[in-house]
Structure 1
Amino acid sequence: MNLGRTKDGPDAPPRQGAALAALAAAQFTVMLATSIVNVALPQIRSGVGLSDGGTTWVVNAYGLAFGALLLAGGRAGDLLGRRRVLLAGLAVFAGASLAAGLAGSPGLLIAARALQGVGAAAIAPAALALTMNLFPPGPGRGRALGVWGAVSGAGGAGGVLLGGVLTQAWGWPWVFHAVALGTTLVLLAVATLVPRAADRGSGRFDLLGTATVTLALTCLVWGLTTARGAGWTDAGVLTALLGAVVLLVLFARIERRRPDALIPPRLFTTGRVAAGNLLMALLGSVWIALFFFMPLYQQQVLGMSPLATGAGQLPLAVANMLGAVVAPRVAGRIGATATVTAGLLAEAAGLLWLSWMRADGSYLVDVLGPSILVGLGLSIAFVQLTALAVDGVPRQDAGLAGGLVNTTRQVGGAIGLAALATLAGSVTAHAPTGQPPLEALTAGYRAAFTVSAAVLTTTALLALLLTCASRRSRRPRGTAPTGTDGQPRTHPLIQNPAARPPSSSAS
């Protein structure tokens, strides 16, 4: 099967659907590992003997390695073959998950979580690039990205549910053993169902650029995650953040002079990649924080068990899958810009609703309704922004584009979680004297959700501003904007359906 020329209509080969299922399962696994440990953290802490800082790094080690290596993983897939890199990433991920479940010391557990992140950094961009090649631009790609968005959101919510079930039934090690088993099954599915293709690109690997940006991202994510516990004025935090800035400037200088740059300028020639990644970073800044604060409120304030907390995420997961499925159809009727804006505002409304949570509240009153609204908005925005960030990218750079959009989401998430956790902790710490502890804790969560809602409202407005700015810059007075093929083009967020087959970013 030629991955670049498969049918994408109703008569698409059944094998194509099976391959999509395998690739979506790989993405689900990556997202699952992001949140599955959240509910189990108290049990993991007591079981392995972790300190407060060590408990935080059970989460941070995965996110740090994942976010720092995504660009390298995406480029490796472009040059070495995406299917090959995907299989290698799945093997590393499965082995690391098994090691985490068997770990008997804090150091081994944190190292295994970091190795999970290394595997995830190979899996995510390769799986997305293979999906883009499997479904050329058209309605089929829109449906495929709908599936992609559904499993991405379901992975985050499903991780909380599965983590609660496994922790309560068999103990925290099974949180990792289950991931290892599931990843092994996904590896076999990819090896069997995803067709081989000549997807290896030409050129050399930009080792210097890759090392520089990886170190820069490592410093950035480490500084941000450490700031949550050590504070923003800590010498180590400030050194890491300053080092990240210096290294990113150095990376930009290196890339201008290299013929085989890690991030070649051609990646941004469509005008959509930059807009998509900027908006995805802002969406990501509240994504990870959402799945961090909600389980804490349910367990620490409402007193829900790990199992009940996990089950409480089911409505959000269902809403997320529903939103991802309908997103391409909605975009086909009202346009991509309106769809993205509506999704972002819907999620913002849900987060604002969560900001009214009470210390003496209940799941049905304070969590259920807003979580459904958040799930719908999150998936609709995610599907459209993913499509936007990879639309029109040269085929030889598909893996890199997938790595870039995942990097911006991860780095945005690290920044957002660090800032929002610091805000929540500060509000709680400075609560009025005599205020009940649960009320002070809830006040911190309310502040975090209020700011999250403001960020997403700003993101929605920015999407509209990018649209207007693009129209002014691309359209000389009295003429219609055109693309490189001479066909009319509108702006980064909306494509003219008459100029090309509809895709999920403009279906």
Structure 2
Amino acid sequence: MPTLDDPPATLPPTTSGRLTGRLGLVLVVLLVAQFMLAVDFSILNVALPVIGRGLGFSLGGLQWIATSFALAAAGFTLLFGRIADIVGRRRLFLAGLAVLGAASLVGGLAVDPAMLLTARVAQGLATAAVTPAGLSLLTSSFPEGPLRDRALGLNGALMSAGFTAGAVLGGVLTDLLSWRWSFFLNVPVAVVVLIIAPTVISESRDETRPRLDLPGALAVTLGLLSLVYGLTTAGEYGFGTTRALGGLLAGVALLAAFYFVEKGSPQPLVPVRILRRRTVVVGNLAGLLAFVTETSLVFLMTLYLQKVLGFSPLAAGLSFGVLGLGTVTGGVGAARVIGRIGTTGTLVTGGLIQAAATVALVGLGDSRSWLWLLLTATFVGGVGNMLVIVGFMVTATSGLPDAEQGMATGMATMSQQIGITMGTPIMSAVVTARAGGATDPAVILHAVSLAVLVNAAVVLAGAVLAGVFLRARKDA
């Protein structure tokens, strides 16, 4: 079995270094779908107050527009990843896209909170199905080596850029047209992908057709739902509240139960031997921390831009275009970096770059003359973060047979979505603990600076984790 830093195996000319016409079309279709899903995570954030006024949401109910999506997307992703292995990845990919298009149409036509939240849950379920299915189609279409690394780099870059683009698009669409276009935008894209995908993407599944491990699926799904609920509740009410603690403890208990269920299952959802693979465990932890830190940094810098510098939501969103450029730059160059220093070196180097860029943001002041520092640091940090994300994707899916790619990419997607969900509540709790209910810009600036330091420490921990445990594997 290859190690992380072994040279790639020799591949046929059509797949070793060249992207054939058909593979190029496969890549475009899958990347467009993944970009659209990433946009959905953030496109409504800026529009929440407008939606609340238009549909009659209470102030406390607004957070459920995001939470309902996150609960479904993170809670069901591992289950759908395994279902993709059984029923066929292309089949689940297309079914999920159809649900996403229909749910987006319903969301855009919503007339009350119940209709909108139903659409958001359906969008989350569609995301939980399409993301791991699409990613496993990508990894099974491109053999391990430079071509897969390049494809994963582009995928990671567009996913991260999509999260940033969502904030920008949400502001532009809400200001120029209506928040409803944040939903409607998905419909034509889904239709086009549904028309093209069946003609270029081959079906991929585990030919042994294993039975679905229902006890394991129930334990992991309820555990993830509880964990995400506890985290989102903590972001609103604090980690010491009964609801937050109850959700977090229930999530931990159910995930522990999941491990023991899998240990005794003849056909487990996730084989315990996979959970014992250092590349899978450490790779997913590194990826989770990468998503925790970069997405929550967007939240912290939004606070800084709006509460300290007085930017409008649209201007703040546009400021993150530089971060998007950084992530695209990192994603495009990641395959070349992996080819030179290996995946472990890429994980560590990317983490150190991101940590240094994040620490630099502690120097931000209370005037707009400091904007140059924010733009420079977020660009550099975006490059480093994307090196980590691509390194994590390659690490967590390498050395596994095609029959287990849906499960492996399901775990990777789960790490991504939980990381996105965890980051903002954690950093919000740090800011709230330091600033309390203060509205003074100086107090908020100090609170944001503390949270930035915590963010940088988490990034550094991920780099150390990868360097120690994955390097130890190579030297063993």
Same fold by TM-score, threshold 0.5 exceeded?
A: yes
Q: Who is 2:465 aligned against?
A: 462
Alignment of 1:225 with 2:228, yes or no, is no
**How far apart are 1:307 and its partner, in Å?**
3.4
**How far apart are 1:405 and its partner, in Å?**
1.0
2-structure distance, mates of 1:279, 1:92: 31
2-structure distance, mates of 1:293, 1:384: 25
**How far apart are 1:64 and its partner, in Å?**
1.2
Question: What runs of 5+ residues in structure 2 fail to find an aligned partner?
Answer: 1-10
**How far apart are 1:406 and its partner, in Å?**
1.3
Q: How has the CA–CA distance of structure 1 residues 454 and 281 changed in structure 2, closer, same or farther, with 3 Å as cutoff?
A: same
Match of 1:20 among 3, 27, 32: 27
2-structure distance, mates of 1:17, 1:145: 13
Q: Who is 1:50 aligned against?
A: 57
Q: How has the CA–CA distance of structure 1 residues 321 and 201 changed in structure 2, closer, same or farther, with 3 Å as cutoff?
A: farther
Q: Who is 1:323 aligned against?
A: 330
Question: What runs of 5+ residues in structure 1 fail to find an aligned partner?
Answer: 475-507
Q: Give the letter for the 2:377 counterpart.
A: P
Moved more, 281-290 or 215-224: 281-290
**How far apart are 1:9 and its partner, in Å?**
3.5
**How far apart are 1:309 and its partner, in Å?**
2.8
1:74-94 deviation digits (Å, cap 9, x = unpaired): 001000000000001111111
Alignment of 1:195 with 2:202, yes or no, is yes
Q: Is the 8 A contact 1:125 1:403 kept in 2?
A: yes
Q: Who is 1:482 aligned against?
A: none
Q: How has the CA–CA distance of structure 1 residues 29 and 83 changed in structure 2, closer, same or farther, with 3 Å as cutoff?
A: same
Match of 1:237 among 244, 252, 264: 244
**How far apart are 1:246 and its partner, in Å?**
2.2
What is the 5 A alignment of 1:96-111?
96-111=103-118
Query: How many residues of Structure 1 are paired with residues of Structure 2 in the alignment?
Result: 466
Moved more, 87-96 or 463-472: 463-472
**How far apart are 1:361 and its partner, in Å?**
3.0
Moved more, 366-375 or 406-415: 406-415
Q: Who is 1:335 aligned against?
A: 342
Alignment of 1:445 with 2:448, yes or no, is yes
Match of 2:160 among 153, 157, 160: 153
Q: How has the CA–CA distance of structure 1 residues 291 and 95 changed in structure 2, closer, same or farther, with 3 Å as cutoff?
A: farther
**How far apart are 1:201 and its partner, in Å?**
4.7
Larger fraction in helix: 2
**How far apart are 1:256 and its partner, in Å?**
1.4
Alignment of 1:204 with 2:211, yes or no, is yes
**How far apart are 1:54 and its partner, in Å?**
1.5
**How far apart are 1:330 and its partner, in Å?**
1.5
Q: Who is 2:430 aligned against?
A: 423
Q: How has the CA–CA distance of structure 1 residues 138 and 350 changed in structure 2, closer, same or farther, with 3 Å as cutoff?
A: same
**C-alpha root-mean-square deviation of aligned residues, in Å?**
2.1
1-structure distance, mates of 2:334, 2:228: 31
**How far apart are 1:350 and its partner, in Å?**
2.1
2-structure distance, mates of 1:159, 1:457: 27
1-structure distance, mates of 2:47, 2:14: 44
2-structure distance, mates of 1:347, 1:404: 24
2-structure distance, mates of 1:303, 1:430: 18
Q: Who is 1:124 aligned against?
A: 131
Normalising by structure 2, report the TM-score: 0.92
SS, match of residue 425 in structure 1: helix
Q: Is the 8 A contact 2:343 2:395 kept in 1?
A: no
Percent of aligned pairs sharing the same letter: 37
Normalising by structure 1, report the TM-score: 0.87
1-structure distance, mates of 2:70, 2:13: 35
**Poorly superposed stretches of 4+, deviation over 4 Å:** 197-201
**How far apart are 1:410 and its partner, in Å?**
2.0
Alignment of 1:68 with 2:71, yes or no, is no
Q: Is the 8 A contact 2:236 2:425 kept in 1?
A: no
1-structure distance, mates of 2:265, 2:148: 33
Q: Is the 8 A contact 1:71 1:404 kept in 2?
A: yes
**How far apart are 1:178 and its partner, in Å?**
1.1
2-structure distance, mates of 1:62, 1:200: 32
Q: Is the 8 A contact 1:215 1:247 kept in 2?
A: yes
Q: Who is 1:87 aligned against?
A: 94
Q: Is the 8 A contact 1:213 1:247 kept in 2?
A: yes
